[in-house]
Structure 1
Amino acid sequence: MYPVKLVTLFLSVVWLLSLGAITVRGVSGPGAWPYTPWSTNKAQVKNARGETVTIVGANWPGAGETMLPEGLQYSSARSIVERLAQAGFNFVRHTYATQMIDEIEEGAVPGKDVTLAWALKNGLGLAAGTNVLAQVLKNNPQWTAETPRMKIWSDIANLERDNGIMMHLDNHVSKPMWCCSNTDGNAFFGDRYFDIARWTRGLSKMARWAIDHPNVASMSLRNELRPVEPATAAVEYSWTAWASNVTAGANAIHTANNNLLITISGLSYDLTLAPITRELDLSVVDQKKAGTPPVYFRIDDHAWHEKAVLELHSYDHKGITTPCDIIEANLYNNGFNALGITPPLGCASGPTSSTVDPTGKVACYPAKRLTPVWLTEFGQKQTDPILHLNTCLRDFTVKHKIGWAMWAAVGSYYTRQNTADFDETWGLFTHDWSAWRNQTTFTGWWMQFIQQMSPTNVEKPQAASPPPKLSSVP
């Protein structure tokens, strides 16, 4: 028999855990924001209290040559995070490069991170890096030239936590650079810079890093997988190859940190997951030769089946004028059917053998499994009128309470495509990160869009005011 005091202590710990009064490392539990870990239940993401949560976010690039979040030479990290929080964003998709982890694991002292000074000078060149370093330190005096790079990422994660924002880790590229093209060496598993072993190692390391940050509830496998050009026999761009590598990557994350949601992107620059949501035989989709064994990707076959979230992107580079009903039907077929929503009005009355019926409506097909789906990239030049596609996307996501992250919370880049201090016209911020690039559009469209998504159940409760001090106690 256990001593009475030991039993009492054990029961007290169990009781405190049930209330969330004791925080398990890496999660906040049901008693404290952000109520992690998050999990999936059919087509919904649930927090530790069982509430359905909806992300409303923006992308903050950090996968460029310095492998640091952009903008720190113009603004403090605190100011950037506070501005995003005040606008109503509850989620930031941070892009990063696998090489950031490689430089820790394969450096002169394996396991030792590089410094802020080294990251800037190596990424920008000695002269430019030295100049930008001085600017970063002026705006962020809490850091020094010797601050490890991942310490900066941790500080930003903590700032976002304090301001009610979830941090999402997006493996954007392997070799740091502007993304994306078919010829950049980062396109698909086995491409010139896309070493699969380093990729899975990077996922594992970042998943472990997330354990110290309860507001990191999710991370991606890879951004915008796409064909490799010129095509090479060494890289098989196919759904079959996608399935085996996605499984390996998800296993790496889940083994390292089984609290994390894992977002799974598709092919063709993440425009489609059509054969995945329908659980088709991928060997047939890939047009493999007769007699090839069937290949199926079924989320329920894996240990992380309650952590899987699908993600898709949608952009207009051609001036799309297609009616929103048809756009919604195509979104449905490309993967949003996994939400279990009613087929959009742009769908034909029933699946047909043709892609489009005589009325112009699309043949739509239901998903085999209900799974959450997020729209993790869409956007446009901030100085242009709102695109028709983005109006359709807003209406679609609001109607179905679909989580999203727009591109991008940025004003300029340290460097991009060999241009120093590159101005980002698609960015929400002005070049110097001091204000919204288009105040009228931001308040009249983006902020209204954010507000239309409420409530999200990601809102951070305001801290209660301390009780007044009493001069005497009766």
Structure 2
Amino acid sequence: MKSILQAPFLHLLAASGGLFSQFAESRTLPRQSGWPFAPFVTSGRDIKDTQGQNVVYAGANWPGAGEVMIPEGLQYQSIETIVTKMKSIGMNAIRLTFAIELIDQIYANDGVDVPLSTAFTEALGAQNGTAILGQVLANNPSFTESTTRLEVYDAIAAECAKQEIFVHLDNHMSRGAWCCNTEDGNSWFNDVDFNVDNWTRGLAARLNRPAKRARSPDNNPALKENSYNWQDWYKYIKQGTDAIHKADPELLIFLSGLNFDTTMTPVVRGTALTPGSETFDLADFDGYADKLVLELHNYDNGATDCAALQGGLHNNGYQAMSPDDAATANVFPVLLTEFGFNQNATEWQRTYATCLADYMVTLKSGWFIWVLAGSYYVRDGVQDYEETWGLLNHDWSDWRSTDYVEGGLIPLIRGTASP
């Protein structure tokens, strides 16, 4: 089974190009009369655009939080080709990941970002880094060795805007690396590689301000015992959401929970945020309660009982989309921002994949499958790592499982995605 992925605490959604180039410059996206009809707000269980229409995301995760700290796959295909591939089956969104380390390095370098030549050689070594960069430049001729990492993100955002695909930015890690486990130093506020001040600074930076994850910091027993709880989660969540909203009041902010973001129960039910007695209160998010969305992850790939799987999702957070449920204290839109499975001939027909798809369609809930990537620049120390869960094949040229795309994925997109 695939290693459990990290669950970011807060995310944001932005829906137009030029997201990254204005680092350290304050701005607000204008209200738009055409697509994407932004800014978005929440209304009960739904996300609404400026036309009052529901917005439902149907997309894939595009990783960029690894050691190179740019989105994967560009040594094999152009940005335009990858985005077009997603658009061709009706996807309308990407969840684009990045690391806070990227922002930290910019601050440390007097506001100047790292060029691709440095990013690749530091991550892959001088020989391999130079060779892979050459392939990236050949596939993406608008880039040069001096192109910065943020300019690559900017180019992806621009292409997505051109093809009318939403961009959901996700602060996946603090340190640029493969995610994740409970001993990687990125697990919890004030963990070894999770400096809260840097995190908050990163949320307010002009990288358009996403946030973080929640998993047990097993490498730090004292931190785990004293801080890994809902009470501290709430304290830091309010700090992070305030930073995001002050930086740009038009952005949606996604809240994630504990245990690798598999549960948000006390938030939805309004029960005590233990070990304290405080409860989640929308009034604590003054002026932007209509910008908050919940997210969950699920990797219960061995599930054989669909009713149990769906019941667990309901109890762990999807109850927030059931305002008539007597136990629902806080109503939110909920997205399944990570789920996935091996892209082989049979896995997509098993209980896990079919049950989740049925659930998403029934609820009209948004989702991002893990993962688009057919391979990684480097993962766990292995360069050009094969991703068997990837929708795309190793060289990102075609779907890894055409049977799943045609028989499972496209029906899921058509059953959920807003036009």
- 1:362 matched to which residue of 2? none
Q: What SS does the aligned partner of 1:325 have?
A: helix
Q: Establish whether residue 221 from structure 1 lines up as the match of residue 211 from structure 2.
A: yes
Whole-angstrom CA distance in 2 between matches of 1:234 and 1:411: 36
Q: What SS does the aligned partner of 1:71 have?
A: coil
Among the aligned pairs, what percent are the same residue?
39
Counterparts in 2 of 1:342 and 1:435: CA distance versus 1, 3 Å: farther
- 1:275 matched to which residue of 2? 266
Q: Establish whether residue 393 from structure 1 lines up as the match of residue 376 from structure 2.
A: no
Deviation sequence 1:279-317 (CA, Å, 0-9, x none): 11213xx3xxxxxx6322212321221100000001124
Q: Establish whether residue 137 from structure 1 lines up as the match of residue 99 from structure 2.
A: no
Whole-angstrom CA distance in 2 between matches of 1:401 and 1:424: 29
Q: What SS does the aligned partner of 1:172 have?
A: strand
CA shift, 1:342, in A, is: 6.4
Whole-angstrom CA distance in 2 between matches of 1:143 and 1:79: 15
Q: 1:435 aligns with which of 394, 398, 404?
A: 398
* Count of aligned pairs between the two proteins: 388
Whole-angstrom CA distance in 2 between matches of 1:44 and 1:28: 22
- 1:252 matched to which residue of 2? 243
For residue 159 of structure 1, what is the amino acid of its counterpart? E
TM-score, normalization by structure 2 = 0.89
Q: What SS does the aligned partner of 1:67 have?
A: coil
Whole-angstrom CA distance in 2 between matches of 1:26 and 1:406: 29
TM-score, normalization by structure 1 = 0.79
The answer to whether the Cα contact below 8 Å between 1:30 and 1:49 also exists between their aligned partners in 2 is: no
Whole-angstrom CA distance in 2 between matches of 1:299 and 1:58: 30
Q: Establish whether residue 330 from structure 1 lines up as the match of residue 319 from structure 2.
A: no
- 1:86 matched to which residue of 2? 88
Q: What SS does the aligned partner of 2:246 have?
A: helix
CA shift, 1:28, in A, is: 5.2
Whole-angstrom CA distance in 1 between matches of 2:93 and 2:212: 18
Deviation sequence 1:316-340 (CA, Å, 0-9, x none): 24x2212x22222211110111112
The answer to whether the Cα contact below 8 Å between 2:323 and 2:331 also exists between their aligned partners in 1 is: no
The answer to whether the Cα contact below 8 Å between 1:91 and 1:168 also exists between their aligned partners in 2 is: yes
- 2:283 matched to which residue of 1? 300
The answer to whether the Cα contact below 8 Å between 1:30 and 1:36 also exists between their aligned partners in 2 is: yes
- 1:402 matched to which residue of 2? 365
Map 1:104-119 to 2 at 5 A: 104-107=106-109, 110-119=110-119
- 2:343 matched to which residue of 1? 382
Map 1:35-434 to 2 at 5 A: 35-107=37-109, 110-205=110-205, 208-210=206-208, 220-223=210-213, 225-235=214-224, 236-283=227-274, 286=275, 294-303=277-286, 304-317=288-301, 319-322=302-305, 324-340=306-322, 366-383=327-344, 384-386=346-348, 387-434=350-397
CA RMSD of aligned residues (A): 1.5
CA shift, 1:241, in A, is: 0.9
The answer to whether the Cα contact below 8 Å between 1:61 and 1:410 also exists between their aligned partners in 2 is: yes
Whole-angstrom CA distance in 2 between matches of 1:419 and 1:221: 27
Instruction: Show structure 2 runs of 5+ residues with no match.
Output: 1-26
For residue 320 of structure 1, what is the amino acid of its counterpart? A
For residue 347 of structure 2, what is the amino acid of its counterpart? P
Counterparts in 2 of 1:259 and 1:166: CA distance versus 1, 3 Å: same
Instruction: Show structure 1 runs of 5+ residues with no match.
Output: 1-24, 211-218, 287-292, 344-364, 460-474
Whole-angstrom CA distance in 1 between matches of 2:113 and 2:167: 21
